[in-house]
Amino acid sequence: MTIIDKTFMIASAALKHSPITQSKLKLIPNFISQKEEEQILNESEKKLKRLKYQRDHWDDAIVGYREFESANWSEQTLAVIERVKREAHFSNSPRQLVHVLDIDAAGFIKPHIDSNRYCGDKVAGVSLLSDSVMRLVNQSDSSKYITLLLPRLSLYVLAHEFRYDYTHEILSDEMSFFGDEYVKRDRRVSMVCRSEPSPLSK
């Protein structure tokens, strides 16, 4: 079931006349089961536990994070990755490497657009351990923005203008509001699949 409605998305008034279709922005609650979440976390923990949370680099797009990329996953996790790729309709071949990003309870992701050097026309992310709030803001007109509620276990897909013209960010705990509703931000792990960058961007 795909839901893009007021339960999960609030669009600013400036977007009233812009249709937001599923091919541009998708959110699927309960995309994975708790068992699949546990499997992905167990596998990731082996790599994550050797890494320290980074928060000293003032110019980083992310605060309070650790991360790794891997193409080696268990059969069960590969099955989830395959489902993500199918749901996201990656047109060109998807990137082999899947990115796992772990932000601690005080961590957050500042507004940014993924570089064309390592990301093609789509970004798809599964949220583990914590609900969070993602904000998308049009780069050239900040009155155009969307607030998304990303529940734990959900999948989101950014494409078209939401991939290229809108920055995306994950709000810090103190900013973590979906409308009037406070969404507690705990430690959050995401599994992010990106489509292959165009050869011209490399």
For ligand OGA, the binding residues (CB under 6 A) are 101, 109, 114, 125, 168, 170, 190, 192
Closest to Mn ion by CB, 122 or 152: 122
Kindly state whether residue 37 participates in binding Mn ion, applying the rule CB under 5 A. Answer: no
Stretch of 79-87, 92-100, 109-117, 169-177 lying at the interface with Mn ion (CB under 5 A): 109-117
Contacting residue, 102, 114, 121, 131, with Mn ion by CB under 5 A: 114
The listed partner (ligand OGA, Mn ion, none) that binds 101, CB under 5 to 8 Å by sort, is ligand OGA
In the complex, minimum distance from the CB of residue 199 to Mn ion, in angstroms, rounded to a whole number: 21
HEC per residue, the chain: CCCCCCCCEEECHHHCCCCCCCCCEEEECCCCCHHHHHHHHHHHHHHHCCCCCECCCCCCCEEEEEEEEECCCCHHHHHHHHHHHHHHCCCCCECCCEEEEEEEEEEEEEEECCCCCCCCCEEEEEEECCCEEEEEEECCCCCCEEEEEECCCCEEEEECHHHHCEEEEECCHHHCEECCEECCCCCEEEEEEEECCCHHHC
Closest to Mn ion by CB, 39 or 125: 125
Structure tokens at 28: 């699927």
Closest to ligand OGA by CB, 157 or 192: 192
| Cα dihedral 81→83→85→86 (10° resolution) | 160
In the complex, minimum distance from the CB of residue 61 to Mn ion, in angstroms, rounded to a whole number: 7
Closest to ligand OGA by CB, 14 or 164: 164
Closest to Mn ion by CB, 39 or 120: 120
Residue nearest to ligand OGA (CB): 190
Residue nearest to Mn ion (CB): 114
Contacts with Mn ion, residue ranges (CB under 5 A): 114
